[in-house]
Structure 1
Amino acid sequence: AELKRKLALAGEPNAEVAQAEQVNGVPFFAQTYSGISGKELPSLIDEHKERLKSGVILLITESDNRVSIAAGVSSDLVDKISAVDIVRCAVPEIGGKGGGGRPDLAQGGGTDVLGVEKAISAVRSFLS
């Protein structure tokens, strides 16, 4: 598990900053993984938030025909954007319902692995 987490964070230390797209003036970083447990996403969100400094992070993993989503919002944006709302707009695209957490970190899940790109697009639209 630790090795998979390290591999997930491998690469350029500032890749999040370079890869983040601006959506309505907000840095948005989305990443998909395979074989990482949904339980590992919150710690990955924290590490990505630390690197990105300001923005919205969406991490999605597929494992055992399940899709897990986690969203993180940096502290400077949490008054305007809620991670719970982000997860709730993405989860229907992967065949899930609900989702919850805190304004800075939320999670949800579903079973439709084909809906991953739609989930990312839904969040992009939500931020627009």
Structure 2
Amino acid sequence: GDIAIFKVVSESAVASGIRRIEALTGEGARRYLVEQERTLKEAAGALRIAPEDLPSRVVSLMEERKRLERELAQAKKQLAMGGGSAGGGTETPVEDLGGVKLLARKLEGVNPKDLRGLVDEGKKKIGSGVVVYVAISEDGKGAIAVGVTEDLTSRFNAVELVKAGAAAMGGKGGGGRPDMAQAGGPEAAKADQALEAVRAAAGELAGAA
């Protein structure tokens, strides 16, 4: 009766097997609960729903956001590959390097983590050859991925080619396999030079063969 309301507001570990709780009582607890209720009503009001419906609505919004993010990522991939209604006329022609097909392209607004998937699609598209894509992020950094179809890995090594492209963007190294490799570079403005570096390196190998 002396402390009236008792409200636990946090709990944490102090040591092994020991927990610590913090609580409010009396007027402090009352003010805390009033503030929590105000926050709840503001959040519910912003979504134009009843406070009791807030948890389910938040879950629904999170699921919708994930769906939209997936759709946006897919749209960016389609645009990068020259597909979609807005992609007409943007498809990069396949080049010929001494009888070897080369698909090289600079991609704006594509997440570097999507590069490998796009390169795989490019390899399927050309059937036999080398694919190189450079992605430019909003923070001015670049990422480059190189793919070599299985029938050409004895002549072209994706790791060596991606190193040449990364070096042109101020990067070092690159990792992967003979058929797929990726690297980064701090100077995305030199994306065209990176493509040209891979083109030159691949051209030398094609000529040597």
Identity of aligned residues (%): 39
Aligned residues of 2:109 and 2:135 also touching (Cα < 8 A): yes
For 1:33, the equivalent position in structure 2 comes to 107
Radius of gyration: which is bigger?
Answer: 2
Q: How far, CA to CA, are the matches of 2:113 and 2:119 in structure 1?
A: 11
Aligned residues of 1:33 and 1:60 also touching (Cα < 8 A): yes
For 1:67, the equivalent position in structure 2 comes to 142
Consecutive unaligned residues in structure 1, runs of 5 or more: none
Q: How far, CA to CA, are the matches of 2:199 and 2:77 in structure 1?
A: 25
1:7 aligned to which of 60, 73, 79: 79
Q: CA RMSD in A?
A: 1.4
For 1:123, the equivalent position in structure 2 comes to 198
Aligned residues of 1:83 and 1:103 also touching (Cα < 8 A): yes
Question: What are the residue-to-residue correspondences of 1:1-128 with 2, within 5 Å?
Answer: 1-9=73-81, 10=83, 19-63=93-137, 64-128=139-203
Deviations 1:84-128 (A, max 9, x none): 011011111101110110111100001112211111111121122
Which SS does the other structure have where 1:2 is aligned?
A: helix
Aligned residues of 2:106 and 2:192 also touching (Cα < 8 A): no
Shift, 1:24, TM fit: 2.3
Q: How far, CA to CA, are the matches of 1:92 and 1:8 in structure 2?
A: 23
Q: How far, CA to CA, are the matches of 2:186 and 2:74 in structure 1?
A: 25
Counterpart amino acid of 2:106?
Answer: T
Counterpart amino acid of 2:120?
Answer: D
Structure of greater relative contact order (alpha carbons < 8 Å, 6+ residues apart) = 1
Which SS does the other structure have where 1:65 is aligned?
A: coil
Which SS does the other structure have where 1:61 is aligned?
A: strand
Aligned residues: 124
Consecutive unaligned residues in structure 2, runs of 5 or more: 1-72, 204-209
Q: How far, CA to CA, are the matches of 2:95 and 2:79 in structure 1?
A: 22
In the superposition, the TM-score normalised over structure 1's length comes to 0.90
Which SS does the other structure have where 1:81 is aligned?
A: coil
Q: How far, CA to CA, are the matches of 2:131 and 2:169 in structure 1?
A: 17
Larger mean Cα displacement after TM superposition, 117-126 or 97-106? 117-126
Which SS does the other structure have where 2:168 is aligned?
A: helix
Aligned residues of 2:148 and 2:179 also touching (Cα < 8 A): yes
Which SS does the other structure have where 2:150 is aligned?
A: coil
Structure 1: 4+ residue segments shifted above 6 A: none
